[in-house]
Amino acid sequence: MTDPAASTVRSRIRTVWDRAQLLIAFHRDPARKLRPEPFLWPPKDATAGLRPDADDQEAFIHLRGRDRSDDVQLKLRSDRIIARRDPGKGWSGVEIDDCMVRVLVGNVWIEVGPDGTVTRRADDSTTYLEGDGSIIRFSEDAEIMVSSDGSSITRRTADRIEGLTPDGVVSRGRRLE
């Protein structure tokens, strides 16, 4: 008997990639001179050693998109996996190592740490979502902190400290020393 829910899920799956190829990129020639473009070689046994220094040679999987605009390159390193694609369709980079995942969306890096903390790094600010749910944001103009239960909110600027606490509102000038 066929499960109707399983066939519904299959019918909603959109094929994005239709081909994968393992390649080794040799960045230097046999005389150790840097090549202007890497020499790409598909290994015959479909295996590749992962070197600690990817400047000489690196292994990657090229995933071909159905319309070629969805092509993704999975770089296989001895310490991490890197996924790259052309900007414009959501993420353009993903890095995975043994304790963290980082995603590049536009010019913003989003990191998920081993304890579940999330860090958002942009050109002009950094925001932390801590494991307890509190939020800390640093920008050029201010530092903002929100407690995990939302009961306390503070903002520090170059000349003021302001806050909402369970005891009331605080707003005062900073002592400049």
Where do the domains of the chain lie, and which CATH numbers do they carry?
Answer: 1-88 (no CATH), 107-177 (2.20.220)
Query: Measured between alpha carbons, how far is 35 from 23 in angstroms, rounded to an integer?
Result: 17
- Which has more pLDDT, 53 or 75? 75
Q: Which amino acid is at 49?
A: G
pLDDT tens-digit readout, 74-107:
999 999 999 999 888 889 999 999 999 999 999 9
pLDDT tens-digit readout, 90-149:
899 999 999 999 999 999 999 999 999 999 999 999 999 999 999 999 999 999 999 999
Question: Which pTM was predicted?
Answer: 0.76
Q: Is 26 helix (H, G, I), strand (E, B) or coil?
A: strand
